Amino acid sequence: MKLKRKHRRLVFVVTGLASLLIAAGLILNAFEDNIVFFYTPKDMAEISIPEGKRFRLGGLVEEGSVKRLADGLTVEFTVTDLTATIPVSYRGPLPDLFREGQGVVTEGKMTAGGIFIADNVLAKHDENYMPEEVAEALKASGQWKGVQDGQ
Amino acid sequence: MTAEIGHFALILAFLTAIVQGTLPMIGAHRGNVAWMALARPASVAQLLFVTIAFSALMYGFVVSDFSIKNVADNSNSAMPMLYKVSSTWGSHEGSLVLWVLILALFGAIVAVSGGNLPPSLRTRVLGVQAWIAVGFLSFSLLTSNPFLRLNPAPLDGRSLNPLLQDLGMAYHPPFLYVGYVGFSMAFSFAVAALIEGRVDAAWARWVRPWTLAAWSFLTLGIAMGSWWAYYELGWGGFWFWDPVENSSFMPWLAGTALLHSAIVCEKRNTLKSWTILLAIVTFSLSLLGTFLVRSGVLTSVHAFATDPARGAYILGFLILVVGGSLTLYAIRAPLLKAGGLFAPISREGALVLNNLLLTTACATVFLGTLYPLFLDAIGGGKVSVGPPYFNATFGPIMIPVIAVAAIGPLMPWKRADLAGVLGRLKLALGGAMLIAAVVWYLVGGTAPWAPLGLGLAAWLFAGSLIEWAERVKLFRLPLAKSWNRARHLPRSAYGMTMAHCGVALVLAGIIGSQAWQVESVRLMAPGDSVEMAGYSFTFRGVRKLQGPNYSIDRGEFEITRDGVPVTRLYPEKRFYPVQQMPTTEAAIHTTWIGDLYVAIDESRAAAGEGDGAWSVRLYFNPLIPWIWLGAVVMMLGGLVSLSDRRLRVGAPRRKRSAVSEQPSPPEQPDPQAA
């Protein structure tokens, strides 16, 4: 297997290109299915999201809206951006920072009944209790009350 | 007063760094020995000044001087001393000072112990280090001064974020930073070599210890961070493909590639310009990692103190470092002469494949991590890229990496016989097939990747041991002779065997915990029992206790197996009144085959139900301890390799090295250690 320098280099170039092509294929394939968009309740009134499509819904947990169902594990609450609201149902552990009146990001799907079924609830470890997306969404809808920046 | 001394020392360190970065560099260019000689005392002085600044800041935390804004924001008089001390690097400002301290320490080590380096190279390395320090110190002084005063001073501090009041915060960031900063040495050596226009085996030999040390510490740092998230977040998971995690993982991937290409560079005097490029990329990713975590540009479950206002400075600094070094690379790299020839099927070939795949894997992580940022920047909407993306891209690329890691070490340099090598690995292949078959039988096709993953882990583990057995000619020579050979194997050979076995353990842990994790989320009243994974969990209720600066709800679980008591677990829910914030402390019982993991969430009494029931989470995480065991084995492998005589005793001078660095024939047992 005595290869000339030129051929040897060609082998490596081809291997390199092949691994890049495979990676590009994997990435494109994965991007198609696994990119999750972020919407606020107001966005959702304006655009149509296909049923069964996963996305993130963010806003504030409406005061007085958190209800625990009888099984003790399912939680229902309303996410609001102070212009529109969406009811959310979630079964599972809530993060430590989840509370009424604070920012929250939930991930899941819309049902035909207009309820958002979340399988993941994120509340940030930030002293503002305000996820960045939610803060920006509130600013965009003119409802920002000016929590000062953290540090 | 102390704070002003610290601030002043930081300014002095900044000025020293400017001097260190200019005069000696000009001296090296013009051959002015006196100017060059300035680099060594300057780096020692810089270490001194930064140490003073860091100590002053730490002193402020220890005595709870709340007139310093940073202390008031991040500490509290009620916090235990350990967390007061670790708050020093708990904030963005403090973590920058820690970064610069480690940078200055490494620079001083080169200055003091780098006597065997050619003076011009040493001077330039120290010069480049100084410029990195200038970047960080000016960032600290201009945008993130840790010594700002408050007037009037508050009576008490706002306390460190409760999630950070943990041993994890005390040890995780320093280890991570030692890793990041260690790669700055590789970067400085690379840029210095580009300026000199000269890369040879001796250069690679000087760079390897720094890369090895950085890699070992980064490995441990990442493992610690993941362990911390595992018990602190209470979700039973150890890795979330979160942007902050990814930003420490990317330099690790690139650094692992660098570690391997530096071997080729040292042993075979080839792949030089690729190694230089990797050194630049690895450090650039370290910089990106440092900044991404602290700047708040990324949305993450681990993002703490954030300030987008610093973004512009960070971006500028990154562009300068990455753009500058790549421009220099573009100009200078063509001057580097290509070295020894090798066939595609050879140890060099295997290492090149390792490099291509690792950098490709790193690129997929990079894309997934930063894509939301790019899309947002061009106004494409807010998106997130979750674990499914990373599993679908990163996973498949790592399969050949692991497969080749068992084959490569058995290949000789220059040209290898693949069939022969595979023949020597037939035992490993058989073992891997057997394990895969057993796992296939156990999971029954529900998780098709589990047999593949565990089979690969077995393949790599067995393959690494076979490689060692071949070296000592186990069972082919009398045992006493094998023992003698084993004793005289270079430590770097043991380091490689350990590190590869560690990777196999980590892989087995990841696959096992993903394939067989048992989860149970439920309401439990005192006296209730749950059967899970062959264990019986009995809830004994919750007691109220008081911690130093928090109140505790401590649950008690009695765990038995077939009626025999196994252990008692005490998961906690803590509440920190200063920040009005609860935290979850999971309780974990570790066994060789898995973790029993218990966390309590919420009392039903809060919802007006008085029966003492709590919503609890129980997990059985099979093989998960192997992840951290494997990471520790990897790190130890790195350190063992670092203690190798060749790297420890002064590397030979360039003239002599040109003779002694002739490629050795493949049969020679010793110097091909990886």
* pLDDT band at residue A3 using 50, 70 and 90 as cut-offs: low
Torsion angle defined by CA atoms of residues A60, A65, A68 and A69, in that order, rounded to the nearest 10 degrees: -120
pLDDT at residue B235 tops 70? no
Q: What percent of chain B has pLDDT over 70?
A: 91
Q: Which residue of B has its CA nearest to A25?
A: B393
Is A28 in CB contact (< 8 Å) with chain B?
A: no
Residue A74 three-state SS:
strand
Q: What pLDDT, on a 0 to 100 scale, did the predictor assign at position B462?
A: 95
Residues 6+ apart with CB under 8 A from B237: B229, B230
Whether residue B598 contacts residue B587, with contact meaning beta carbons closer than 8 Å, is answered with yes
Q: What is the token pair recorded at B468?
A: 């060692």
pLDDT at residue A146 tops 50? no
Residues 6+ apart with CB under 8 A from B248: B176, B218, B221, B222, B225, B289, B293
Nearest-CB residue to B415 (from A1, A56, A133): A1
Is A49 in CB contact (< 8 Å) with chain B?
A: no
pLDDT at residue B256 tops 60? yes
Q: What pLDDT, on a 0 to 100 scale, did the predictor assign at position B381?
A: 75
- pLDDT digit string, tens, across residues B426-483: 999 999 999 999 998 888 767 888 999 999 999 999 999 999 998 888 888 888 888 9
Is A16 in CB contact (< 8 Å) with chain B?
A: yes
Rounded (10°) angle between helices B272-295 and B311-332: 180
Q: What pLDDT, on a 0 to 100 scale, did the predictor assign at position B671?
A: 38
Which residue, B288, B221, B212, is CA-closest to B250? Answer: B288
Residue B384 to residue B241: CA distance in whole angstroms = 11
Q: Pinpoint the alpha helices (H) of chain A.
A: 5-34, 41-46, 132-140
**Region B133-162: what's the mean pLDDT?**
89
Residues from chain A contacting residue B302 (CB–CB below 8 Å):
125
Task: Name the CA radius of gyration of chain B, rounded.
Answer: 27
* pLDDT band at residue A127 using 50, 70 and 90 as cut-offs: very low
**Region B68-93: what's the mean pLDDT?**
89
Residues from chain B contacting residue A94 (CB–CB below 8 Å):
601-602
In a domain, B564, yes or no: yes
Is A20 in CB contact (< 8 Å) with chain B?
A: yes
The second-level CATH assignment, the architecture, of A37-140 is: Beta Barrel (2.40)
Measured CA to CA in angstroms, residue A11 lies from A8, B264, B349, B607 at distances of 5, 18, 10, 68
In a domain, B390, yes or no: no
Q: How many CB atoms lie within 10 A of CB B390?
A: 22
Is B607 close to A68, i.e. CB distance below 8 A? yes
φ, ψ for residue B576, nearest 5 deg: -100, 110
Q: How many CB atoms lie within 10 A of CB B648?
A: 11
Q: What pLDDT, on a 0 to 100 scale, did the predictor assign at position A138?
A: 66
- pLDDT digit string, tens, across residues A5-17: 667 777 778 888 8
How many residues are listed for chain B in this entry? 674
For residue B152, cis peptide bond before it (omega within 30 degrees of 0): yes
Query: Where in the sequence is the domain holding B602, given as residue range(s)?
Result: 519-626
Is A132 in CB contact (< 8 Å) with chain B?
A: yes
According to DSSP, the residues that pair with A75 across neighbouring strands are A68, A90
Q: Which residue has the higher pLDDT, A132 or B84?
A: B84
Q: What is the token pair recorded at B66?
A: 């709340």
Residue B266 to residue B114: CA distance in whole angstroms = 18
In a domain, B553, yes or no: yes
User: Which position has the token pair 């292949």?
Assistant: B429
* pLDDT band at residue A41 using 50, 70 and 90 as cut-offs: confident
Which residue, A33, A46, A60, is CA-closest to A133? Answer: A60
Residue A15 to residue B36: CA distance in whole angstroms = 44
- pLDDT digit string, tens, across residues B94-128: 989 999 999 999 999 999 987 788 889 999 999 99
Nearest-CB residue to B392 (from A26, A73, A131): A26
Between A and B, how many residue pairs show a Cβ–Cβ distance under 8 A? 134
According to DSSP, the residues that pair with B545 across neighbouring strands are B552
Q: What is the DSSP string of B145-160?
A: -TT-B-SSPPSS----
Q: What is the token pair recorded at B110?
A: 């080169």
The domain ranges of chain A are 1-35, 37-140
Q: What pLDDT, on a 0 to 100 scale, did the predictor assign at position B376?
A: 75
Q: What pLDDT, on a 0 to 100 scale, did the predictor assign at position A141?
A: 63
Q: What is the DSSP string of B302-362?
A: T--S--GGGHHHHHHHHHHHHHHHHHHHHHHGGGSPP-----SSSHHHHHHHHHHHHHHHH
Least confident of A136-145, B242-251, B324-333: A136-145
Give me chain A's average pLDDT, please.
77
Least confident of B285-294, B550-559, B566-575: B285-294
In a domain, B545, yes or no: yes
pLDDT at residue B648 tops 70? no
Q: How many domains does chain B have?
A: 1
Whether residue B316 contacts residue B181, with contact meaning beta carbons closer than 8 Å, is answered with no
CA-angle at B534, arms to B528 and B538, nearest 5°: 20
* pLDDT band at residue A129 using 50, 70 and 90 as cut-offs: very low
**Region B257-262: what's the mean pLDDT?**
94
Q: What residues of chain B, 158 to 177, have a C-beta less than 8 Å from chain A?
A: 158, 161, 163
Q: What is the token pair recorded at B654?
A: 């360039």
Which residue, B103, B273, B67, is CA-closest to B185? Answer: B103
Q: Which residue of A has its CA nearest to B390?
A: A30
Whether residue B673 contacts residue B644, with contact meaning beta carbons closer than 8 Å, is answered with yes
Q: What percent of chain A has pLDDT over 90?
A: 7
Residue B379 to residue B359: CA distance in whole angstroms = 29
* pLDDT band at residue A140 using 50, 70 and 90 as cut-offs: low
Q: What pLDDT, on a 0 to 100 scale, did the predictor assign at position B380?
A: 74
Identify the DSSP state of A142. Answer: T
- pLDDT digit string, tens, across residues B396-425: 999 999 999 999 999 989 888 888 899 999
Is A32 in CB contact (< 8 Å) with chain B?
A: no
Nearest-CB residue to A35 (from B234, B299, B383): B383
Q: Which residue has the higher pLDDT, B265 or A148?
A: B265
| Strand ranges (E), B401-534 | 518-524, 529-532
Q: What pLDDT, on a 0 to 100 scale, did the predictor assign at position B165?
A: 84
Q: What pLDDT, on a 0 to 100 scale, did the predictor assign at position B674?
A: 36
What b-and-e string marks burial along A89-109, b requiring 16 or more CB atoms within 10 Å of the CB?
bbebbbbbbbbeebbbbbbbb
Is B515 in CB contact (< 8 Å) with chain A?
A: no
φ, ψ for residue B269, nearest 5 deg: 55, 35
**Region B538-555: what's the mean pLDDT?**
92
Q: Which of B384, B598, B603 to mutate to test the interface with A (most CBs of A within 10 A)?
A: B384
Q: Which residue has the higher pLDDT, B651 or B352?
A: B352
How many residues are listed for chain A in this entry? 151
pLDDT at residue B137 tops 70? yes
Whether residue B308 contacts residue B291, with contact meaning beta carbons closer than 8 Å, is answered with no
Tell me how far the alpha carbon of residue B152 is from its chain's centroid. 41
Residues from chain B contacting residue A30 (CB–CB below 8 Å):
388-389, 392-393
Nearest-CB residue to A30 (from B158, B235, B389): B389
Nearest-CB residue to A72 (from B235, B393, B523): B523
**Region B629-656: what's the mean pLDDT?**
76
- pLDDT digit string, tens, across residues B153-178: 888 888 887 877 888 888 888 999 99
Whether residue B369 contacts residue B412, with contact meaning beta carbons closer than 8 Å, is answered with no
Give me chain B's average pLDDT, please.
87
First to last CA, chain B: 52
Is A74 in CB contact (< 8 Å) with chain B?
A: no
Q: What pLDDT, on a 0 to 100 scale, did the predictor assign at position B665?
A: 38
* pLDDT band at residue B280 using 50, 70 and 90 as cut-offs: very high
According to DSSP, the residues that pair with B383 across neighbouring strands are A37
φ, ψ for residue B585, nearest 5 deg: -115, 105
pLDDT at residue B509 tops 50? yes
Is B301 close to A133, i.e. CB distance below 8 A? no
Q: Which amino acid is at B207?
A: V
**Region B545-554: what's the mean pLDDT?**
92
Q: What pLDDT, on a 0 to 100 scale, did the predictor assign at position B607?
A: 54
- pLDDT digit string, tens, across residues A49-79: 777 788 888 888 888 888 888 777 788 999 9
Residue B628 to residue B543: CA distance in whole angstroms = 32
Which residue, B257, B60, B54, is CA-closest to B140? Answer: B54
Measured CA to CA in angstroms, residue B219 lies from B89, B638, B665 at distances of 20, 9, 33
pLDDT at residue B499 tops 90? yes
Is A148 in CB contact (< 8 Å) with chain B?
A: no
According to DSSP, the residues that pair with B543 across neighbouring strands are B554
* pLDDT band at residue A150 using 50, 70 and 90 as cut-offs: very low
Whether residue B69 contacts residue B148, with contact meaning beta carbons closer than 8 Å, is answered with yes
Is B304 close to A126, i.e. CB distance below 8 A? yes
Q: What pLDDT, on a 0 to 100 scale, did the predictor assign at position B195?
A: 92
Query: Containing H/E element for B436?
Result: helix B426-443
Whether residue B516 contacts residue B534, with contact meaning beta carbons closer than 8 Å, is answered with no
Q: What pLDDT, on a 0 to 100 scale, did the predictor assign at position B341?
A: 77
Is B150 in CB contact (< 8 Å) with chain A?
A: no
Q: Which amino acid is at B217?
A: F
Whether residue B505 contacts residue B513, with contact meaning beta carbons closer than 8 Å, is answered with no
Residue B355 to residue B546: CA distance in whole angstroms = 53
Is A140 in CB contact (< 8 Å) with chain B?
A: no
Q: A69-74: which pairs have CB atoms within 8 A and are 24 or more residues apart?
A: A71/B523, A72/B523, A72/B604, A72/B613, A72/B615, A73/B521, A73/B522, A73/B523, A73/B615
Residue B593 to residue B598: CA distance in whole angstroms = 17
According to DSSP, the residues that pair with A120 across neighbouring strands are A107
Is B364 close to A26, i.e. CB distance below 8 A? yes
Q: What pLDDT, on a 0 to 100 scale, did the predictor assign at position B344?
A: 81
Q: Which residue has the higher pLDDT, A36 or B276?
A: B276
Q: What pLDDT, on a 0 to 100 scale, did the predictor assign at position B669?
A: 38
Is A19 close to B73, i.e. CB distance below 8 A? no
Whether residue B518 contacts residue B530, with contact meaning beta carbons closer than 8 Å, is answered with no
**Region B560-568: what's the mean pLDDT?**
93
Is A96 close to B582, i.e. CB distance below 8 A? yes
According to DSSP, the residues that pair with B596 across neighbouring strands are B589, B620
Residues from chain B contacting residue A21 (CB–CB below 8 Å):
none
Task: Name the CA radius of gyration of chain A, rounded.
Answer: 22
Q: What is the DSSP string of B208-256?
A: HHHHHHHHHHHHHHHHHHHHHHHHHS-SS-S----HHHHHHHHHHHHHH
Let me know if B608 is exposed, middle or buried by CB neighbors in 10 A (0-12, 13-18, 19+): exposed
Least confident of A138-142, B14-18, B397-401, B591-595: A138-142
